[in-house]
Amino acid sequence: MSSAKDDADKKGRKASKETRRQQLIEATIDSLAKRGYSETTMADVADGAGLSRGIVNFHFESKEKLLVATLQYMADEYSAHWRAALLAAGHEPSDQLAALVAADFDRAICTKRKLAAWCAFWGEAKSRPTYQALCGARDEAYQNVFVELCRRLRDEAGYGFDPAQAALAISAMLEGLWLRLMMGTEGLTRESALTAANQLLDIVFPKHFPRVTRPVSRIA
């Protein structure tokens, strides 16, 4: 039978392993943001995390496994973030839609380093089926929520648009604003990007918007 000390040691080793993996993932995000996809190396990640290169190899074995784990982490973080925002918004479809749009510009996920890392992965997705498969189910679930909210708003107010097309336009607008933030478009901040996004909601759903949104702090 294992002693309490043995159990504590096992928990400590597990926590240490998870801590190391998280350090390496965060360092990978930093490297992707600074150097891009092709120029990021295992050595860069090790140096950025302040760990030995042997530790990187121990946890991930290869650059590809490290990058897949990083993308998995970012996709999980993004999914958890929008789902939490949707849950907190209540039951009104207009409030839920406004919450989803605002969530995209929350400091928790919308920073220059994370946007740059996302763009690095987007640039590789077409030639890497693993990346497409990893995010495909999550992207589909996210898009389906937008379609359903657009359908409910259309039915409430008698709008003439097609819900799927409206949802596609909103998603494309959000992705475009992220890209412009990453590129450092002059004068564009998370605040002004959110204002622009809300303007589109006002145009598409004039009987439901504008809504009051929480201010967001400046991009890190």
Residues of the chain with CATH 1.10.357.10: 64-220
Local confidence band at 133 (pLDDT 50, 70, 90 cut-offs): confident
Domain 1-61 fold is Arc Repressor Mutant, subunit A (1.10.10)
With a cut of 50, say whether residue 209 has pLDDT above it. Answer: yes
CA 111 from chain centre, in angstroms, equals: 10
State the amino acid at position 163 in one-letter form: P
* Chain segment 96-124, per-residue pLDDT in tens: 999 999 999 999 999 999 999 998 888 88
115, containing H or E segment = helix 112-125
- pLDDT cut 70: percent of the chain above it: 85
Residues of the chain with CATH 1.10.10.60: 1-61
Domain 64-220 fold is Tetracycline Repressor; domain 2 (1.10.357)
Structure tokens of 61? 């074995």
What is the Rg, in whole angstroms, of the alpha carbon atoms belonging to the chain? 20
Q: Which pLDDT score, from 0 to 100, does residue 3 have? A: 54
Q: Under a CB-based contact definition with an 8 Å cutoff, are residues 49 and 26 in contact?
A: yes
The distance between the two most distant Cα atoms of the chain, rounded to a whole number of Å, is 69
Q: Which pLDDT score, from 0 to 100, does residue 205 have? A: 96
State the amino acid at position 51 in one-letter form: L
Please state, in angstroms and as integers, the Cα–Cα distance from residue 87 to each residue in 19, 44, 81, 122, 160, following that order. 29, 39, 10, 28, 28
